[in-house]
Amino acid sequence: MTHRVQFESGESFAFCDDEDTLLRAALRAGLGFPNDCGVGGCGNCRFELVSGDMETLWPEAPGLSERERRRGRRLACQSRPASACVVKVRLSDEYRPAVPGLRLAARLTDRREIAPGMGEFTFHTEAPARFLAGQFAILHPPGVDGARAYSMSNLPNEAGEWRFVIRRAPGGRGSNAMFDRLAIGDAVTIDAPYGRAHWRGDPVRDVVCVAGGSGIGPIAAIVQAALRDGGERRIHVFEGARTEADLCFRKLVPGESPALVYAPALSAEAEGSAWAGARGFIHAHVEAHAFPVERCEFYFAGPPPMIEAMNDLLVMRWRAPLAQVHTDKFF
């Protein structure tokens, strides 16, 4: 069965039974529906239902406050039309997908540990892996409610190879299922690509990349894209981890380049260990470098506290132009 979804602004598209959510169906239809995380955390996809029936997949999703829920707001990434609907939201070209989203049958072909509790997962699809470096995919971990977002850590390729760096979140259902319930050869659906924190390829500006924890996945992809494209630019990579054993960047992007400046910082390395590098939180380490913001593109990915600290530094204090700041918050 198909339900027509009509936007108050005039656009419309057909929501088919095999579609998963209003958000992803609208993006697949090429519409610029506002979104960020795709999984209920950010609230950026909120909309109003003007008429029709809509199923809510995760009623407690943290992207909406109780007050917003009472006022009838909904999240498009947690909604499925159950009849013809009219919805109110401001569509914007800014959110129109740069690469059309596809749901692809994939198989897990490799998994290796790159740090304690951190794995690099490799999947293969028959179709080419089409995305922009730094984007993410939606996966459904086996036996778990709801979808999870994981960022590709490799470059797009014709061989259909998709790599992800996944951290076992303590007590986390989805990430632990990826490690414990998925065997080599098992099938999953990769729904991709999503996200706007992708490589822009500015030919002149230096690149400043900052990663915390598994945020190193999309940052590794951005760095590989910057190295691939060459040019005069410097590529600064700041990796924040708890201990030296948790650092991953060199395992994902081996080899040296005169363009690359790698600067790790550890927040919980034992006093008196052999570590001679920087200590403390990675954003404080970035702050110590007085980057000329107008001549840099900034990419950062990782846990919400790191993202908030980086936004505060770049946007509030350094006044970096928003068009040069590209970020993914790992809700």
Ligand X SMILES: Cc1cc2nc3c(=O)[nH]c(=O)nc-3n(C[C@H](O)[C@H](O)[C@H](O)COP(=O)(O)OP(=O)(O)OC[C@H]3O[C@@H](n4cnc5c(N)ncnc54)[C@H](O)[C@@H]3O)c2cc1C
Alpha-helical runs (H) found in 34-188: 66-70, 173-180
Cβ nearer to ligand X, comparing 53 with 145: 145
175 touches 169 (CB < 8 A) = yes
- Measured CA to CA, the distance from residue 292 to residue 320 in angstroms comes to 9
Q: In this structure, are residues 239 and 282 in contact, taking their beta carbons and an 8 Å threshold?
A: yes
Number of residues written out for the chain:
331
Q: Quote the least distance from Cβ 68 to ligand FES, whole Å.
A: 11
Q: For ligand FES, which is the closer residue by CB, 78 or 122? A: 78
What's the closest the beta carbon of residue 193 comes to ligand X, in angstroms?
11
Buried b / exposed e along 294-304 (16+ C-beta atoms within 10 A)? eebbbbbbbbe
Whether the CB-CB separation of 277 and 304 falls below 8 Å is answered with no
In the chain, which ranges are continuous DSSP H helix?
22-28, 66-70, 173-180, 216-229, 249-252, 282-287, 304-311
Query: Contact between 178 and ligand FES (CB under 6 A)?
Result: no
Give residues 160-189 in contact with ligand X (rule: CB under 6 A): 164-167, 169, 172-176
State the binding partner of 120 from ligand FES, ligand X, none, CB within 5 to 8 A by kind: none
Which residue stretch of 29-37, 212-220, 270-278, 302-310 sits at the interface with ligand FES (rule: CB under 6 A)?
29-37
Stretch that binds ligand X, among 14-22, 107-115, 253-261, 323-331 (CB under 6 A): 323-331
User: By CB under 6 A, how many residues form the interface with ligand X?
Assistant: 28
Q: Which does 77 bind (CB under 5 to 8 A by kind): ligand X, ligand FES, none?
A: ligand FES
Distance between CA 91 and CA 223 in Å, rounded?
A: 31
Q: What are phi and psi of 184, to 5 degrees?
A: -55, 130
Minimum CB separation from ligand FES for residue 328, in Å? 11
What's the CA gap between 315 and 329, in Å, rounded? 15
3-state class (DSSP) for residue 249:
helix
Question: To the nearest whole angstrom, how small is the minimum distance from the Cβ of residue 188 to ligand X?
Answer: 14
Please provide residue 99's backbone torsions phi and psi, each rounded to the nearest 5 degrees: -125, 125
Choose the contact partner of 125 out of ligand FES, ligand X, none; CB within 5 to 8 A by kind: none
Which of 38, 97, 156, 193 contacts ligand FES by CB under 6 A?
A: 38
Q: Does 191 bind ligand FES (CB under 6 A)?
A: no
Q: Is 145 in the site for ligand X (CB under 6 A)?
A: yes
Window 46-105: residues binding ligand FES (CB under 6 A): 63, 75, 77
Neighbouring C-beta atoms of residue 10, cutoff 10 Å = 7
Letters for 191-210 (x = contact with ligand X by CB under 6 A, - = none) are ----x---------------
- Kindly list the residues in this chain that would bind ligand X in the complex (CB under 6 A): 37, 39-41, 58, 136, 145-146, 148-151, 164-167, 169, 172-176, 195, 214, 217, 328, 330-331
- Kindly list the residues in this chain that would bind ligand FES in the complex (CB under 6 A): 35-38, 40-45, 63, 75, 77
